[in-house]
Amino acid sequence: MPMTMTQHKTNGRVYTPDYIVNNILDLCDYRGDKILGKHIIDNSCGDGAFLVEVVTRYCQVAQNAGVSRKQIALDLARFVHGIEIDTDECEKCRVNVSEAAAGFGVYNVSWDIHCNNTLNIKKYDGKMDFVVGNPPYVRVHNLQDSYESVKNFSFAQNGMTDLFIVFYEIGINMLNPTGVLGYISPSSIYNSLAGTAMRRHITHNRNIRAVVDLKHFQPFEATTYTTIMLLTAKQNNFIDYYEYDAQKCEPFAVSRLNYENFFINNSFIFGQKNILEELQAIVSHPNNISACTVKNGFATLCDDFFIGDWSFNDYTIPVIKASTGRSTKCLFPYDAKGKLIPFDVLTKNPKIQTHYHVNKDRLKQRSLERKDAWYGFGRSQGINDVSKRKYAINSLIRDTDDIKLQSCAPGTGIYSGLYILTNFELDVLQNVLFCDDFIQYVTMLGKYKSGGYYTYSSKDLSRYLNFKLSERNGHLYEQSAIS
């Protein structure tokens, strides 16, 4: 029976492709004679994607080493472990690993595969040589009986956490002093608020041994961008950073990094060492005197009401959609100081009055900053800067051809994107934005979107511009001083 959306949200079950299973086991070095007599667990094992390959590898190595089938059965029962909360999936897992063992003539294994909630299991703590898997992706607010259990974990103290983050803490706790953990999980863990406590912990304790960023490659049907992360119980002086070959379905080495290279501004940013040093300079650049300010455009929370080719001109301003560069009109119910115009004044125009009357209910249903301001925008951002000269810019790009930078005269509003406030002219901004440096910077931030796109925030853009423009200012100052 196919999994329902409700099951997916509640249990976070996503099936792992075989090539990802093999990638993780290889990276953990679960292969060869060294795996004999070593404990391995998948603590969210589902129907056994990881454990089937574990059993296959163990049987192959053991038979090649001359271990008897009877002893292999005893070893599998002792050293291979699994936990799965779903009864049906747990039973499938037992069947699947039994079939894998039977392929080597090994039968009647007393599997240590439990139907239980991993959040409550402590018996494996400190005992595992390998912890592997694809932990469940489910936001804590979708959990039913486990909410309080999740919030008891130290990795779950920031934001609306996801269950997979807690599984990292559980997995680390299961490792013995020489153990290694290999998980595939969302790459949002690099920079999300929910992942803050985890990032700080594993950076402070130097638990990371390797990271594979799959970037835009998506091994799952869901539009989740993923990473493979290897952690150890012992400290590591450096980490190996890999990216992913989508054609070969395997990771390839990119760089060996020190912790100070990739832990930047409480986020993980991975790449080549020299590029990360440049990024570190951008992020840590002091902005005591900003060359520019970057802000988010209008958030009306009902664009089709406020923005359009209206038949009336009263209380309208020109507005630019930053994501496309398209210009149209915006019903702007604010005065020159950004304060709401009284409703009875605004609606003296009969066309505007009708427009509000027809849409009043849905305007009030928005998530408003102020309930008494139901006839205004949903948020106040961008309103007070209408009278200023600015530059609209989109925040979803792949390369320089996708950048839409547009000068906006005073009196123009901006929505669906960002805008830049600065005294610099358009050609100066073009020089620092329409270049490989900017594309490299945005790419390194790792904020992936479908179609091979990347996104960036107002803060991201502000940091980059102020760094680059301060470099330019310094250069101009030096030139003038020399002359």
Quick count: other Cβ atoms within 10 Å of Cβ 426? 11
Whether residue 149 has pLDDT greater than 90: no
Band of pLDDT at residue 371, cut at 50, 70 and 90: confident
Q: Which of 96-100, 274-278, 378-382 has the lowest mean pLDDT?
A: 274-278
Give the C-alpha distances (Å, rounded to integers) separating 438 from 397, 424, 459, 463. Answer: 11, 18, 14, 11
Query: What are 139's strand-pairing partners?
Result: 162
> Which is nearest to 386 in space by CA: 315, 457, 455, 458?
315
- The arithmetic mean of pLDDT across residues 86-103, rounded, is 97
The pLDDT score that the predictor gives to residue 2 is: 33
Q: Classify residue 253 as exposed, middle or buried by CB count within 10 Å of its CB (0-12, 13-18, 19+).
A: exposed
268 pLDDT more than 90: yes
Average pLDDT, the chain: 90
pLDDT score at 201: 96
Residue 363, pLDDT score:
95
- CA-nearest of 390, 396, 383 to 452 is 396
Which conformational region is residue 74 in: left (phi greater than 0), alpha (psi within -120 to 50 degrees), or beta?
alpha
pLDDT at 65 over 50: yes
| Per-residue CA distances from 39 to 95, 125, 164, 483 (Å) | 20, 12, 22, 72
Q: pLDDT of 421-466, one tens digit each?
A: 999 999 999 999 999 999 999 999 999 999 999 999 999 999 999 9
Cβ proximity of 386 and 408 under 8 Å: no
DSSP letter (8 states) at residue 456? -
Supply the pLDDT for residue 140.
Answer: 58
Share of the chain above pLDDT 70, in %: 92
Over range 134-154, report the average pLDDT. 72
Could you write out the DSSP letters of every residue in 421-439? EESS-HHHHHHHHSSHHHH
Higher-pLDDT residue of 337, 289: 337
Q: Is-above-0.75 flag for pTM?
A: yes
pLDDT for 287:
61
Q: pLDDT digit string (tens) for 405-416? A: 999 999 999 999
Give residue 475's pLDDT.
Answer: 43
Average pLDDT over residues 240-258: 96
Decide if pLDDT at 13 tops 80.
no
Tell me how far CA of residue 99 lies from CA of 96, 107, 389, in angstroms.
5, 9, 70
Per-residue pLDDT, 332: 98
Domains (range + CATH), the chain:
5-284 (3.40.50.150), 292-481 (no CATH)
What pLDDT score was predicted for residue 14? Answer: 64
Each residue's pLDDT tens digit, 188-225: 999 999 999 999 999 999 999 999 999 999 998 777 89
Question: How far is it, in rounded angstroms, from Cα 354 to Cα 469?
Answer: 48
Rounded CA-CA distance 400/86 in Å is 48
Residue type, 468: K
Please say whether the beta carbons of 82 and 113 come within 8 A. Answer: yes
Non-local (6+) Cβ contacts of 468 within 8 A are 432, 437
pLDDT band at 151 (very low <50, low <70, confident <90, very high): confident
Residue 80 backbone phi and psi in degrees, to 5: -105, 125
Per-residue model confidence (pLDDT) at position 10? 38
The answer on pLDDT for 391 being more than 60 is yes
The predicted model gives 96-113 an average pLDDT of 98
**What pLDDT, on the 0 to 100 scale, is given for residue 143?**
56
CA distances from 16 to 19, 21, 94, 185 (A): 8, 7, 17, 11
Residue 289 pLDDT: 59
Work out the pLDDT band at 160, boundaries 50, 70, 90: low
Would you call 228 helix, strand, or coil by DSSP? strand
Look at residue 7 in the predicted model and tell me its pLDDT: 36
Note the pLDDT of residue 473: 63
Give the pLDDT band (50/70/90) at residue 265: confident
